């Protein structure tokens, strides 16, 4: 009998990610080296080192936030389009320069807010800042910049840590929806959201060190630096299963979620559990899986 074992697809835990291009390998290697070098043992960041790779472009002199607005070429008049507010990890800045070519043609109108600098031990302050991005959409200040925005169909988009923030912004919006006038959330786009917990999931153990960007040690350091002192990884800012992190999810105003998961992302088990948690609470969740994707693809 012919041996068919060689023709059988390897199980997921035996597969290796597809080879990266030389430029991508170089970029991720440098990013990993700089990240590790900038992470001090006391839980603080060497922000001066990071600033060489990510020069500041603040939206307002008094704020550590910066904002990028991408506009397409003029087109014939058409129906108003929904605004998309995005929350991206700081490491995505070089890659984000590709946005005008690749994504703006799809989004057509959008606002991408990029958090600059991680406020130490201030997850609640970070979410409040993101939440404050919603009300101005309905006011006059943006009317001359984005004249065809339909703020009754607003989307939140978050990549990695931004996906975590998008979840918390959405649930806080859902609990205070009456305060947002005519701004309405139509959906959340969570791209490999950065969640965690004290438990070591099978994907974290299996994929630790397999792909670049995210490892167990780096993720642990990030949580220690970000969470309040003495908090563990089951804190509401890290673990979506915490009662405080679920508050607002069951509200009818909490929007549907599009969840993107990478097959070589060590955090994928947390992301799948996040989708399952939302479904158990009656929320519509669409999962898009990229079997060969690493975290931050």
Tell me the pLDDT of the chain (297 aa) as tens digits.
Answer: 444 444 444 455 556 666 777 787 777 777 777 777 878 887 777 777 767 666 655 555 555 555 555 555 666 656 666 666 665 554 444 344 333 333 333 333 333 443 444 455 456 666 666 666 665 555 544 445 555 667 788 888 989 988 998 999 999 999 988 888 778 899 999 999 999 999 999 999 999 988 788 899 999 998 988 888 889 999 999 999 999 999 999 999 999 999 999 999 999 999 999 999 999 999 999 999 999 898 887
- Sign of the CA dihedral 146, 148, 150, 154? negative
What pLDDT was estimated at residue 290? 94
What pLDDT was estimated at residue 216? 93
Give the tokens for residue 243: 């009662």
CA distance 99 to 121: 30
Determine whether 7 is an active site residue: no
Determine whether 160 is an active site residue: yes
Whole-Å CA distances, 219 to 35, 41, 160, 295: 11, 14, 11, 12
What pLDDT was estimated at residue 182? 79
CA distance 199 to 140: 47
What pLDDT was estimated at residue 60? 52
Domains detected in the chain: 81-87+122-131+149-294 (3.40.50.1820)
Please tell me which residue in 54, 159, 265, 269 is annotated as part of the active site: 265
Residues 6+ apart with CB under 8 A from 220: 233
CA distance 42 to 290: 36
Alpha helices in 59-199 (DSSP H): 93-96, 99-102, 104-107, 123-131, 161-175
Please tell me which residue in 160, 215, 235, 269 is annotated as part of the active site: 160
Phi, psi for residue 167 in degrees, rounded to 5: -60, -50
Phi, psi for residue 47 in degrees, rounded to 5: -70, -30
Query: What global pTM score does this model have?
Result: 0.74
Alpha helices in the chain (DSSP H): 22-38, 47-53, 93-96, 99-102, 104-107, 123-131, 161-175, 202-207, 216-226, 243-246, 268-280
What pLDDT was estimated at residue 204? 96
Q: What angle do CA 175, 176, 181 make, to 5 degrees?
A: 140
Please tell me which residue in 167, 168, 235, 295 is annotated as part of the active site: 295
Angle between helices 161-175 and 123-131 (to 10 degrees): 70
């Amino acid at each position: 009998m012919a041996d068919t074992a060689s023709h059988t697809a390897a199980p997921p835990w035996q597969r290796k990610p597809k080879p990266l291009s030389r430029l991508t390998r170089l970029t991720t290697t440098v990013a990993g080296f700089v990240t590790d070098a900038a992470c001090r043992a006391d839980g603080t960041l060497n922000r001066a080192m990071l600033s060489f790779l990510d020069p500041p472009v603040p939206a307002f002199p008094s704020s550590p936030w910066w904002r990028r607005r991408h506009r397409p070429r003029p087109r014939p008049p058409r129906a108003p389009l929904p605004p998309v507010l995005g929350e991206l990890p700081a490491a995505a800045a070089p890659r984000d320069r590709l946005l005008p070519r690749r994504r703006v043609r799809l989004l057509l109108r959008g606002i991408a807010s990029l958090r600059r600098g991680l406020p130490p031990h201030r997850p609640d302050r970070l979410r409040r800042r993101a939440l404050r991005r919603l009300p101005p959409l309905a006011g006059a200040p943006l009317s001359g910049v984005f004249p065809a925005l339909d703020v009754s169909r607003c989307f939140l988009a978050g990549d990695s840590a931004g996906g975590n923030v998008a979840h918390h912004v959405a649930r806080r919006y859902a609990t205070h929806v009456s305060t947002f006038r005519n701004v309405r959330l139509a959906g959340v786009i969570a791209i490999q959201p950065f969640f965690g917990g004290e438990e070591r999931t099978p994907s974290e153990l299996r994929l630790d060190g397999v792909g670049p960007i995210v490892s167990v040690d780096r993720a642990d350091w990030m949580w220690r630096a970000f969470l309040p002192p003495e908090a563990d990884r089951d804190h509401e800012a890290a673990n979506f299963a915490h009662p405080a992190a679920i508050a607002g999810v069951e509200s009818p105003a909490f929007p549907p979620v599009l969840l993107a998961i990478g097959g070589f992302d060590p955090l994928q088990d947390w992301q799948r559990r996040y989708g399952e948690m939302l479904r158990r609470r009656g929320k519509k969740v669409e999962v898009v899986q990229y079997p060969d994707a690493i975290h931050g693809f």
